[in-house]
Amino acid sequence: MKLTAGAYSDKGGRPHNEDAFLCALRTGGSVGETSAEFSGLVDIPLFFLVADGMGGHDAGDAASAFVVENIRQTARNAANEKRVFDEAALEALVKSVHAALLKEGKEKGTPNMGSTLTGILLQKDAPCGFFNAGDSRVYRLRNGFIQQLSRDDSLSGIIPGAAKNIITNAVGAGLPDVSIASRFSSAIAVAGDIFLMCSDGVHGFVSDDDLEKFLVKTSSPPETAKRIVEVAIAHNSDDNCTAVVVRLNEE
């Protein structure tokens, strides 16, 4: 499977950036790089994800960077070991990162540091999948129509009319456990699909209809990711803005 991907992150309406991203094995956002690109074959497990440090908690930027770096290292090790992931293995990975972040926060005196986590995992000769904890989102464009694959872990999902920015699930954040929603299937990712991962600073200010239009017109995932972030900022986003776009090319 061939693919092209791009990521873009901006502090948006906040003093500094607490979002982070992973684009194959390249990180960015709160860890320094504004953008990243990838083009190649899926011959090792490839993660594409967004982690949104929780601004209402301690050290959100450090939390999102910690999550991204830990998963990047796991992906690199899996490639070296020729290992693939199923839902159980992915859940175990996220729970281990959760435990490590709780320990890191306790040692640094920031016990509530936490982050959302959402993304996709593409693998050769194995089912692909998406995963989510928090209110960042995974979208898939297929046959010209957009679909939100992830489900927001926010209080508004439990109590209609409640505040959308109250997160009920996250990595770290002083929570005793994390629940990772995921689904793996050979039908999750097929040639022609385009995926978008984004933080709530994007999807809270750009409608699904507009996101669909941008993805339908995409010729370059890096340019599309940047354009989506720029539009969110132009729509007065009051949060950090990050987008990762992945296009699975026709053979």
In a domain, 197, yes or no: no
In a domain, 68, yes or no: yes
In a domain, 106, yes or no: yes
Distance CA(239)–CA(15), nearest Å, equals: 9
Work out the mean pLDDT of the chain and round it to a whole number: 93
> What does the angle CA 7 – CA 35 – CA 28 come to, to the nearest 5 degrees?
90
In a domain, 240, yes or no: no
At 122-157, the pLDDT tens digits run 999 999 999 999 999 999 999 999 999 999 987 766
Please list, in sequence order, all residues whose beta carbon lies within 8 angstroms of the beta carbon of residue 56, skipping any fewer than 6 positions away: none
Q: 73: helix, coil or strand?
A: helix
Beta bridge partners of 147: 140
In a domain, 222, yes or no: no
pTM: 0.95
In a domain, 216, yes or no: no
CB 6 within 8 A of CB 225: yes
In a domain, 202, yes or no: no
Distance CA(164)–CA(204), nearest Å, equals: 9
CATH number (domain holding residue 118): 3.60.40.10
Domain that holds residue 167: 2-136+150-190
Question: Residue 155 has what pLDDT?
Answer: 73
At 71-119, the pLDDT tens digits run 999 999 998 888 999 999 999 999 999 999 999 999 999 999 999 999 9
Question: Residue 96 has what pLDDT?
Answer: 96
CB 189 within 8 A of CB 128: yes
Distance CA(177)–CA(193), nearest Å, equals: 33
Q: pLDDT band at 218, cuts 50/70/90?
A: confident
The token pair that represents 156 in the structure block: 């508004």
How many domains, in total, are found in the chain?
1
Q: 4: helix, coil or strand?
A: strand
The token pair that represents 219 in the structure block: 């010729």
